[in-house]
Amino acid sequence: MKNTIRPEKIHKHVYLNQGIIYDRKYTKAGELRDLHISLLTTVGRRNADAEAQPCMVWVCGGAWRGGRERAAEMLPELTYLAEEGIIIAAVEYRILGEAVFPAQIEDVLTAVRYLRTNAEKYHIDPERIGIMGSSAGGHLTILAANNDGQFDTEMYNTVSSHVKCAIDMYGIADIEAVYRFNINALKNGQRTRTRDPWHFPESELLGDLPVNVLAAAKRAGGINGINDRTCPVLILHGNDDHVVNIEQSEMYYQALKDNGRDVTYYVLDGADHGSDEFFQTDVQKIILDYLKDKLL
C-alpha cells in the first residue's frame, strides 16, 4: 500500500556534535585528561550558512563526580531549547579524585572562553552565552554567574568568560552551610551520603574539612561573590529536596535581592532532588520564557 503524506513541520532537526576537546589537564594521578564539549544544535550540513545562535552552557551535577561520563546525559531533556535555536553546550570538568577546587570552575569557565573563541566555527553568538546547571552543576553555575574573573586561567585569555544569564537548578550556594547542615544531620542520626565528614562531597571538593580551610570554603561559595557584574539568575528548587536543602536557594535568592541583582525564583512544590517535576512542560515553559527575555 502506497501513501503520501505532508508532515506538519513542528520539530526542527537537532544535531549532536560530540568529542570536541576544549582543553587537556593532568589529574592528581598524573593522567593527561581530555576535557570535552558536546553540542546540541540545529545547525548542520544542510544549513551550514545559518546565522549565529545564542548558547547555553550546561553543567551536570552528581556531587562533583558527574563531570566525566555523565556530562552530557541530560542533553535529551534540553532538546526543546535546541529546537528554539539555543545551542546547548554540555561541558566536562575535572571530578573529585582528579582535582580539588577551584579546578572544576576553572574548567567550566575555560569552556565558556573556548566557545567564545570558536564562536564562528560553531555558529554561536559570542554576545549571547549563558549557563545552567543542576546540583553540583548548579554550584558551578552560581560561581560562573558572578562574572568576577577570579577563576579565569590563561587558556583562550583574549576573550572573557562572561555569561549573560544563569539558571541554577537546586544548586549549592554556600559550601560552609552545606557542611554544617550535614554535620548536624549526622549528629541527629539523619540520612547523609556518608558517616565520615572527610568523605562529604564538599570536603572532597576542597581536599579538607571546610572548617579547616574556611577561606577556601568561602571562596567556593558563590553566594559570597555576588557583585555588580553578577548576571540575571533564575533559581529552581524543590521543597522536598533530600539532598540539597532548599535553604541553599532561599539564602541565595535573598542574597541576590539584598545586592540588587536581577533574580527570579520558583519553588517546585513536592519536588525532590532532580525529580521528574523539573522536566515537565510547565517548567520547560518557565525556562524558555526566561531565556527569551534574558538571552534571545
Asked whether the beta carbons of 58 and 41 are under 8 A apart, the reply is: no
Residue-wise pLDDT for 125-178, tens only, equals 999 999 999 999 999 999 999 999 999 999 999 999 999 999 999 999 999 999
For the chain, what is the largest distance between any 2 Cα atoms, rounded to a whole number of angstroms?
Answer: 75
> In this structure, which amino acid lies at residue 73?
E
Q: What is the mean pLDDT of the chain?
A: 94
What's the rounded mean pLDDT across residues 100-127?
A: 97
H helix intervals, 84-199:
103-117, 136-145, 175-187
pLDDT band of residue 192 (cuts 50, 70, 90) is low
Over residues 78-110, the pLDDT tens digits come to 999 999 999 999 999 999 999 999 999 999 999
Predicted confidence (pLDDT) at residue 182 exceeds the cutoff of 90:
no
Residue in this structure with the C-alpha cell 536581577, named with its chain if needed: 262
**What's the rounded Cα separation, in Å, for the pair 275 and 55?**
25
pLDDT in tens, 10-49: 888 899 999 999 999 999 999 899 999 999 999 877 777 7
pLDDT value for 50: 80
The strand order across the sheet containing 166-169 reads 15-26, 32-41, 87-91, 53-59, 124-134, 166-169, 233-238, 263-268
User: Per-residue pLDDT averaged across 274-295, rounded?
Assistant: 97
CATH class of domain segment(s) 15-172+225-294 = alpha beta
Q: So where are the chain's domains?
A: 15-172+225-294, 175-220
Contacts of 213 (CB under 8 A, 6+ apart): 206, 207
